[in-house]
Structure 1
Amino acid sequence: MKTKELLNILEGNPGKNLLFEYAPGLLVGANYHITEVKNVTIDSVDCGANPDFWKETIIQLYESPLEKDKREYMSAYKALSILKKVDKIKPMKRDVEVKFEYSNQSFHTAQLFVNEFQIVGDNLLLKLGVEQTDCKAKETCGISEKAAEAVSACAPGSGCC
C-alpha cells in the first residue's frame, strides 16, 4: 500500500477505531502509540551487482507498558492528525510503500506491509504481513523461478554473491 492510500483510508474513516493485525488473529494492543514516522531512502546493490534505489514510509507502533489495560483503540482521525502533524515537519512521500514497524515480547521487530484493510463494524482493521527475502538477480545467479520457490538464498560459488 502506498502512503497516499493509507492517508485516504484514514481520512475516509475518521470515526473508526484503528486496529492492526500483525499476524493472523493477533492484534496490536489498544495501548499502542505511533512513536515515529520515518522517511526512508534505500540505496542498495543486489547480489548480481545491480544498483537499486527506492523510498519508503515506515510508521512505528509501540505498546505502552503504562497503559497495558487500555481497551479503547486510537481512532483513524487521531492517527491521521498525528501523520498530518509529522507531514508539516517532515513531508511524507505519497507515492511510496508504507510499512509498519512493530514488535512485542512474543513477536520480533519487523517492518510489516499492509496486505489489506477491512471495515468491521466500528473498526478499521489493517492486516499486516511480512514478505520473504528474495534474490533480485535470479538470472545472474542462475536461479530459475521454480528453484527460487524452493530455495530462498543464493548458493555459495554460484557467482551470485
Structure 2
Amino acid sequence: MKTAEFLNFLNNQTSRELIFEYEAGKKIGANYHITEVKNTRIESVDCGGRTDAWNETVIQLWESPAEIDKTEYLTTAKAKNILDRVHSMKPLDLEAEVKFEYGNKSFHTAQLYVQGVKAEKDTLTIALDVNPTLCKAEELCGVNEEKETVAEECCNPGTGCC
C-alpha cells in the first residue's frame, strides 16, 4: 500500500479505532503508540550486481507497558493528525510503500506490509504481514520458482551471481 492510500483510509474513516493485526487473529494492544515515522531511501545491489533504489515510509508501533490495561485504541483521526504533523516537518513521499515496524515478546521485530484493510462500524483494522526474502536476480541465479531452489552452479565463481 502506498503512503497516500493509507492516509486516504485515515481521512475517510475519521471516527474509528485504528487496529493493527500483526498475524492472523493477533492484534497489537490498545496501548500502542506511533513512536516514529521514517522516510527511508533504499539503495541496493542484488546478488546479480544490479542496482535499484526506492523510498519507503516506515511507521513504528510500540506497546506502552504503562498502559497495558488500556482498552480504547488510537483513533484514525489521531493517527492522521500525527502523520500530518510529521509531513509538515519532514514531507512524506506519498508514492512510497508504507510499512509498519513492530515487535513484542512473542513476535520478532519486523517491518510489515499491509496485506489488507477491513472497515467495520467502529473500527478500521489493518492486516499486516511479512514479506519473504527472495532472490532478485532469479534469471541469473537459475532460481526455480516452483521448487524455490537455486541451480548448483549459481554461486560458483564467474557465474555472475552471489
Q: TM-score range by the shorter chain?
A: over 0.9
Unaligned runs of 5+ in 2: none
Aligned partner of residue 15 in structure 2, secondary structure:
coil
Aligned-residue offset at 1:155:
5.8
> Structure 1 runs of 4+ off > 6 angstroms?
none
Aligned partner of residue 146 in structure 2, secondary structure:
helix
Instruction: Show the counterpart of 1:20.
Output: 20
Instruction: Show the counterpart of 2:156.
Output: 157
Aligned partner of residue 146 in structure 1, secondary structure:
coil
Q: Confirm or deny: 8 A CA contact 2:141 2:155 kept in the other structure.
A: no
**Does residue 74 of structure 2 align to residue 74 of structure 1?**
yes
Instruction: Show the counterpart of 2:112.
Output: 112
TM-score calculated relative to the size of structure 2: 0.93
Mapped to 2, the partners of 1:143 and 1:126 lie a distance apart of 33
Aligned-residue offset at 1:107:
0.4
Q: Confirm or deny: 8 A CA contact 2:34 2:59 kept in the other structure.
A: yes
Aligned-residue offset at 1:142:
1.3
The one-letter code matched in structure 2 to 1:142 is G
Mapped to 2, the partners of 1:126 and 1:145 lie a distance apart of 29
Instruction: Show the counterpart of 1:144.
Output: 144
Mapped to 1, the partners of 2:72 and 2:107 lie a distance apart of 22
Aligned partner of residue 111 in structure 1, secondary structure:
strand
| Aligned pairs (5 A) from 1:4-153 | 4-148=4-148
Q: Confirm or deny: 8 A CA contact 2:142 2:154 kept in the other structure.
A: no
Mapped to 2, the partners of 1:72 and 1:155 lie a distance apart of 53
Mapped to 2, the partners of 1:155 and 1:67 lie a distance apart of 51
**Root mean square deviation of aligned Cα:** 1.5
Q: Deviation string for 1:73-97 (max 9, x for gaps)?
A: 0000000000000000000000110
Query: Percent identity over the alignment?
Result: 51
TM-score calculated relative to the size of structure 1: 0.94
Mapped to 2, the partners of 1:118 and 1:124 lie a distance apart of 6
